[in-house]
Amino acid sequence: MKIEMKGISKSFGKNEVLKDVNFTVHSGEVHALMGENGAGKSTLMNILTGLLDANGGEILVDGQPVKYDDALQAEHSGISFIHQEMNNFGEMTVLENMFLNHEIKGKFGMLNMKEMRAEAKKVLQRLNVDIPLNVPIGTLSVGTQQMIEIAKSLMNDTKILILDEPSAALSEKEIDSLFDIIRGLKAQGVGMIYISHRMQEIFEITDRITVMRDGLTVASYPTAEVDVHQIIKDMVGRDLSDFYPDREPKYGETRLEVDHFTSQGVFNDVSFSVKAGEILAFSGLMGAGRTEIMRALFGIDHHDSGTIKVNGQEVNLKTPSDSIKHGVGFLTENRKDEGLILDASIAANIDLPSIDGFVKHGLVDQKADNDFVEMLIKRLTVKATSRNDLAGDLSGGNQQKVVLAKWVGSGSQILILDEPTRGVDVGAKREIYDLMNELTDRGVAIIMISSDLQEVLGFSDRIAVVYEGRLMGEIATQDANQEKVMTLATGGKLDE
């Protein structure tokens, strides 16, 4: 199978996203599609699979022009799409999710549960994962849910598989097994479109790289004939000499001190502290409980025991509102669910935690508020036509920047960032790192949860490793390496 997209154009209102995009993929190749946040990668794939209509251009499959009306049609002709944002049904079980709209029917149109269960087991085995079939999918971690999405697409007779940032929520180990699967599929002649912002992966797994910028296809190379710097230059239009900026931290007083923090059955006896100007990274395997610790700390979830001190004072953070008052900010890992109001403007999202600060004589000082929002949009280079754009219409990376802007704006002195660069392009990533540097220079303490080991090792001062809800140990970043972190993350001990 060979898919050719020619001269595709698409605009949303005045926002011209795709101008003239050409893209070709065929069976047996893994083809990387690269581009900054908001370059239009997901949009292009939505057009291919019939979820969006293009304004112009044509799509040829094996030389024949096609236009799919919906995702099901695309699937029937062999094109499966694993979306960037999870599209599943939290309340429904894993099995129900896997077979939605592909139910196996028995007598009288009734569901054949036995066969579906067998099928599901088979495909999960192929992926080498063990996932219970009868639990609601929403109770599983993001990574596990992603695995199920992949399993789903394997059940169809797929000829071309689109993976839109499949690894964003996966741990190193899972990414390894994902790559095994990709290699296996490739051997079976399946073609794949692989979208990711992680350079390392691109060079490890793909055969060809196509780069989009400003609505155009700017370059396309065989992977073997190109290097990271060239790709970055194509994507951002300039050279980014170094991936991670240097850190020259100047530590101040201890900002946050957490002691014997426990929530029965979730995490146990967790103690750590962060100083002003420091970046403390939390590493661990997916589902280790890092997110749960921070949620409880911030007052979203409840905890059973333990103490929290902010600037040396013991505090009681019962709700996020208390935390914000004490200068704590929290960028949640799931921006769609808890980070953003998708139907509200960028402005209404950014100023929400700070809104009480703009009240003058009981009313919101609109001018000051607007200036504040504009300043943050500029500072974080959010790509949007105006501050009144809906947050939900932004690309994933730009949405992430909006959430960050919100917490930077609220003047947090202790900033908890849960996967801050998930789904963010290299250029924007670099901007986020620079921003973190700037914040720590101003005395902000940062806790960064990251599943990207490269990032943890490349841009932090200290690494805390969590395993099954317990803190296994801390390593100064300069003494750390991949092996040490992985040893702790899998429950091992470091022997000095």
Ligand X SMILES: Nc1ncnc2c1ncn2[C@@H]1O[C@H](COP(=O)(O)OP(=O)(O)OP(=O)(O)O)[C@@H](O)[C@H]1O
DSSP E strands: which ranges in 241-295? 254-263, 267-275, 279-284
Reference 274, options 294, 255, 296; nearest CA is 255
Could you give the string, one character per residue 23-52, with x where binding to ligand X holds by CB under 6 A and - elsewhere? ------------x-xxxxxxx---------
- Which residues inside 57-86 make contact with ligand X, applying CB under 6 A? 84
Q: Which does 262 bind (CB under 5 to 8 A by kind): ligand X, Mg ion, other proteins, none?
A: none
Rank residues 129 and 348 by Cβ distance to other proteins and give the closer one.
348
Could you tell me the two tokens for 221? 């190379």
- At position 371, the amino acid (one-letter code) is D
Q: Which of 29, 33, 34, 42 binds Mg ion (CB under 5 A)?
A: 42
Rg (the chain; Cα; Å): 23
How far is 326 from 410, CA to CA, in rounded Å?
11
Q: Which does 339 bind (CB under 5 to 8 A by kind): Mg ion, ligand X, other proteins, none?
A: other proteins
Min separation Cβ 46 and Mg ion, Å: 9
User: Quick check: helix, strand or coil at residue 218?
Assistant: strand
- At position 269, the amino acid (one-letter code) is D
How far is 252 from 257, CA to CA, in rounded Å?
14
Q: Does 421 bind ligand X (CB under 6 A)?
A: no
Measure Cα distances from 38 to 22, 35, 288, 346, 426 in Å. 17, 8, 32, 15, 13
Rank residues 107 and 493 by Cβ distance to other proteins and give the closer one.
107
Q: Which does 51 bind (CB under 5 to 8 A by kind): Mg ion, other proteins, ligand X, none?
A: other proteins
How far is 271 from 261, CA to CA, in rounded Å?
6
Neighbouring C-beta atoms of residue 118, cutoff 10 Å: 12
Q: Does 297 bind ligand X (CB under 6 A)?
A: no
How far is 281 from 260, CA to CA, in rounded Å?
19
Measure Cα distances from 314 to 258, 294, 306, 335 in Å. 10, 17, 11, 30
Q: Does 89 bind ligand X (CB under 6 A)?
A: no
Q: Is 481 exposed, middle or buried (0-12, 13-18, 19+ CB in 10 A)?
A: exposed
Contact 5, 162 (CB under 8 A): no
Q: Which does 174 bind (CB under 5 to 8 A by kind): other proteins, ligand X, Mg ion, none?
A: none
Min separation Cβ 228 and Mg ion, Å: 21
Q: Which of 139, 188, 271, 321 binds ligand X (CB under 6 A)?
A: 139
Rank residues 123 and 424 by Cβ distance to Mg ion and give the closer one.
424
Neighbouring C-beta atoms of residue 134, cutoff 10 Å: 9
Contact 397, 430 (CB under 8 A): no
Rank residues 78 and 143 by Cβ distance to ligand X and give the closer one.
143
Phi-psi region of 484 (alpha: psi -120 to 50; beta: other; left: phi over 0): alpha
Reference 22, options 196, 231, 211, 195; nearest CA is 211
Neighbouring C-beta atoms of residue 293, cutoff 10 Å: 28
Q: Which of 46, 49, 84, 421 binds Mg ion (CB under 5 A)?
A: 84
Q: Which of 284, 306, 329, 420 binds ligand X (CB under 6 A)?
A: 284
Could you give the string, one character per residue 426-465, with x where binding to ligand X holds by CB under 6 A and - elsewhere? -------------------------x--------------
**Residues lying near other proteins in the complex (CB under 8 A):** 51, 70-73, 75, 83, 87-92, 96, 99-101, 103, 105, 109-111, 298, 300, 319-321, 323-325, 330, 332, 337-344, 348, 351-353, 355-356, 358-359, 362-364, 366, 406, 410
Q: Which stretch binds ligand X (CB under 6 A): 135-143, 201-209, 307-315, 440-448?
A: 135-143
- Which residues inside 315-354 make contact with Mg ion, applying CB under 5 A? 333
Q: Which does 437 bind (CB under 5 to 8 A by kind): other proteins, Mg ion, ligand X, none?
A: none
Q: Does 288 bind ligand X (CB under 6 A)?
A: yes
Neighbouring C-beta atoms of residue 343, cutoff 10 Å: 10
Q: Which does 240 bind (CB under 5 to 8 A by kind): ligand X, Mg ion, other proteins, none?
A: none
Could you tell me the two tokens for 389? 């754009």
Min separation Cβ 61 and other proteins, Å: 18
Q: Which of 19, 186, 290, 326 binds ligand X (CB under 6 A)?
A: 290
How far is 168 from 196, CA to CA, in rounded Å?
8
Which residues contact Mg ion (rule: CB under 5 A)? 42, 84, 291, 333
What residues line the site for ligand X (CB under 6 A)?
12, 15, 17, 35, 37-43, 84, 139-143, 284, 286-292, 333, 393-397, 425, 451
